[in-house]
Amino acid sequence: MKLTQTIEEEYRHVESAIKKEVKADCEDCKLDLVPLYQKYLESRNCNTGPRRSAENIYHTCLHFLKKSKEEYAIQDINTFSLQYTTILGCTDHTDFGIFISALINKHFEETRTKKEYTVFINKEKSEISFLGMENEGANIQIVGSTGGFAGFYMKKGFLHISGDAGYKLGYEMSGGKIIVEKNADTEVGTSMKGGQIHIKGDAKDIIGSHMTNGIIKIDGEINALVLKNVRKEHAEIYHKGKNIFDKKKETMNKGLIEEKETMMQKIKKIFGSKK
């Protein structure tokens, strides 16, 4: 692949920033992960079976990495994310997100390092999904924005997103902490079982749907707060520092939301008003 002079210069500039930020030298690199990823995609394409769930794709990816027996360093993961999103132009958003999550989780399982894993997303609005998937203790820094399902099934560790987060952030997470510096799309903390999510910007509707435990904090505005089947006795949802749930009155602070009428009551009310 022949690069234009402009792209080459941009790549060298960003690559230099990466090395400075993560304090790693080229000597720390062990493996170019792009060919390994391409090999993984080829093996995936050979499977003509029905479309599988994200969990199945993840465990297939993890099995592929373990079977390859390739050794790689943190710096390889950092550089790979830059190469793929900036130079090669990532279009397979789900596969890439799951693959890099599997790379991080496998490396952390083997090393238990306390160093940061840095994923560089060179796009203002990213569609790369499932970043931080099934994290079991790693410290992951996302430089940029994420697509949907960041922190999917997260169990432990830390996920920091410097930009925006896509829909269903922290879906079914059971532990760990997620911080989003900017805004979050709809359905934050869906089916959340534990851990913490902190949105420093705004959030859209449907917060903590079917949430059974954990803490969600939103510092900015909420587009339209909708709560679905949240267990108030265990879940905590804060808006601008105040707990949305008023446990004494079982209502919402500032009238953000109250126990709504049933759908049948609404329908009767609408049709009744037309008589």
Q: What is the DSSP string of 6-63?
A: HHHHHHHHHHHHHHHHHT--GGG----HHHHHHHHHHHHHT--SPPPPHHHHHHHHHH
Buried b (16+ CB within 10 A) or exposed e, 84-117: bbbbeebeebbbbbbbbbbbbbebbeeeeeeebb
Task: Tell me what pLDDT residue 224 has.
Answer: 72
The pTM (predicted TM-score) of the whole model is 0.79
Residue 160: strand pairing partners = 141, 179
Buried b (16+ CB within 10 A) or exposed e, 129-141: bbbbbbbebbbbb
- Based on the number of CB atoms within 10 Å of its own CB, is 59 exposed (0-12), middle (13-18) or buried (19 or more)? middle
User: Using CA atoms, how far apart are residues 192 and 88, in angstroms rounded to an integer?
Assistant: 35
Nearest alpha-carbon partner for 222 in 173, 171, 184:
184
Q: Could you tell me if 178 and 200 are in contact, meaning their C-beta atoms sit under 8 angstroms apart?
A: no
Q: Is the dihedral of CA 9, 11, 12, 16 positive or negative?
A: positive
Structure tokens given for 74: 């943190």
Task: Tell me what pLDDT residue 258 has.
Answer: 42
The gap from C-alpha 114 to its chain's centroid, in whole angstroms, comes to 20
Element (H, E) at 138: strand 136-143
Distance between start and end Cα atoms, the chain: 70
pLDDT by position in tens, the chain (length 275): 333 344 345 445 555 555 454 444 445 667 889 899 989 988 876 554 545 789 999 999 999 999 999 999 999 999 888 887 665 555 678 889 999 999 999 999 999 999 999 998 866 556 889 999 999 999 999 999 999 999 999 999 999 999 999 999 999 999 999 999 999 999 999 999 999 999 999 999 889 989 999 999 999 999 877 777 777 668 899 999 988 865 433 444 444 444 444 555 666 666 665 55
Task: Tell me what pLDDT residue 23 has.
Answer: 45
Q: Give the SS3 label for residue 235.
A: strand
